[in-house]
Amino acid sequence: MMKKYFLLTFLMIFGFSQSQIIRKYSNEFLNIGAGARGLAMGGAVISSQDDVYSPMWNPAGLMAIERDWQGAAMHAEYFESIAKYDYLAYAKVLEEGVFGVSVVRLGVDNILNTTQLIDTEGNIDYDKITKFSQSDYAAILSYAFHPGGNPKLDVGVNAKIVYRNVGKFASGYGFGFDVGAIYKGDNGWRFGGMLRDATTTVNFWSVNQKELSTVVNGEEFNPAPKDKMELTMPKLNVGASKKFDINSSVYVLPEAGINVDFAKTAALVSSDFASITPYAGAELGYQKMIFVRLGVNRFQSITDIEDLKRKVSFQPSAGIGIRYRGLTLDYAITNSGIGGSNFYSNFFSLKLDMGEFRND
């Protein structure tokens, strides 16, 4: 366990010291998603998420809320409970639209701080080892509406405020916007799209040079980065879905789409301008009370470290859900998708659907 925490310390300090103005991966904790339904379906809910969890997938989905208000909570733990992820949200139906507020936290606690392990003369002093926490927070204000009163088109906007903290070493504040839309076509088809960080999300960092750096024999280690500002580039998620009724009690709802990163990544289709990754998922429902879900996403082309051959990796997911009156409990299990590893994470989410039914 000590090795894990030492490695986390090194990766955080190294990654931070190498920060640049434009980052391929910044504020990634906001791309995890929220709600075990969407996670179980591999994120294949861009056109079909219809509740208080919508701001994390497509804020336009808030318009589908049928009662006065909804509340939700989710908790998950990654990598043998080292990292913890939490989400709280509330949505209220207004006269002309739906307003929502969400709070997100991803944190790693009790990380060993080894930056002062070696003193200025090169001596090792284990008493200098301390602990710190690294946490990412976000508050999201959302609003969804029918533009021009068109009931076939839902539009939603997120305004995000981000706070990131790396113990005593550094902290950063950021802000940005997401824009989403859902079009309800003929024959039950739904088409959705969400542009994350539409205007780029800006993070401003403040660095504590005294805590971060170490001087050994006159040489400085872990110097503070020169760039104190990060820009998170936009990401586009689009999808299409349709609900098929098997009989009066059973239905199946599949969705498929693509995720587009405007940067070169390890995606199956990748260029200097953009990288494209497909995703798919499905939900099987019985009497709108019991749900079974499957999904797959994050297809990547990676190099096997054993035989150095290129291969395709992907992230599978699955889950179940139970609804009784105004209460819904969902569960999802999904692979972390990191280098083909077998780290599986469990997600539990709860939703309260309360108040009288709205009049559209």
Q: What is the pLDDT of residues 217-247, one digit of tens each?
A: 555 555 556 557 788 888 999 999 999 999 9
Is residue 118 in a domain? yes
Establish if 13 belongs to a structural domain: no
Position 37 in a domain? yes
Query: Is there a contact between 257 and 240 (Cβ–Cβ < 8 Å)?
Result: yes
Q: Where does the pLDDT of residue 110 fall: very low under 50, low under 70, confident under 90, or very high at 90 and above?
A: confident
Q: Between 71 and 261, whose confidence is greater?
A: 71
Asked whether residue 44 carries a pLDDT value surpassing 90, the answer given is: yes
Report d(CA 257, CA 285) in Å as an integer.
21
In a domain, 16, yes or no: no
**207 in any annotated domain:** yes
- What local confidence, expressed as pLDDT, does residue 90 receive? 96
Mean pLDDT over 91-109 rounds to 92
Bridge partners (DSSP) of residue 32 are none
Q: Which of 241, 150, 254 is nearest to 188 (CA)?
A: 241
Which stretch of 14-18, 133-137, 167-171 has the lowest confidence by average pLDDT? 14-18
Residue 341: inside a domain, yes or no? Answer: yes
Instruction: Look at residue 165 and tell me if it is in a domain.
Output: yes
Amino acid sitting at position 67: R
Give bridge partners of residue 94 from the DSSP assignment. Answer: none
pLDDT of residue 303: 66
Which CATH number is 276's domain given? Answer: 2.40.160.60
Model pTM score:
0.81
Give residue 54's identity as a one-letter amino acid code.
S
Domain count, the chain: 1
pLDDT reading at 178 higher than 60: yes
Indicate if the alpha-carbon torsion angle 305, 342, 167, 228 is positive or negative.
Answer: positive
Q: Which of 30-44, 126-140, 202-216 has the lowest mean pLDDT?
A: 202-216
Structure tokens at 200: 């780029």
Residue 193: its pLDDT value, please?
97
Q: Is residue 330 a contact partner of residue 320, using CB atoms and an 8 Å limit? A: yes
Residue 52: predicted pLDDT: 95
Structure tokens at 16: 């931070």
Share of the chain above pLDDT 90, in %: 46
Under DSSP, the state recorded for 59 is G
- Band the pLDDT of 306: cuts 50, 70, 90: low
If you average pLDDT over residues 1-14, what whole number do you get? 40
CA dihedral for 325, 328, 329, 332, sign (positive or negative): positive
User: Of residues 193 and 229, which shows the higher confidence score?
Assistant: 193
Mapping DSSP to helix (H, G, I), strand (E, B) and coil, where does residue 27 land?
A: coil
Mean pLDDT score of the chain, rounded to an integer? 82
Residue 14 has pLDDT above 60, yes or no: no
Distance CA 103, CA 240 (A): 28
Do the Cβ atoms of 17 and 222 come closer than 8 Å? yes
**Separation of alpha carbons 123 and 223, rounded Å:** 20
* Six-digit token string for 4: 């894990």
Q: Nearest CA to 201 among 179, 174, 227?
A: 174
pLDDT score at 278? 93
Does residue 359 belong to any structural domain of this protein? no
- Enclosing H/E stretch for 63: none
Residue 242: domain span = 22-353
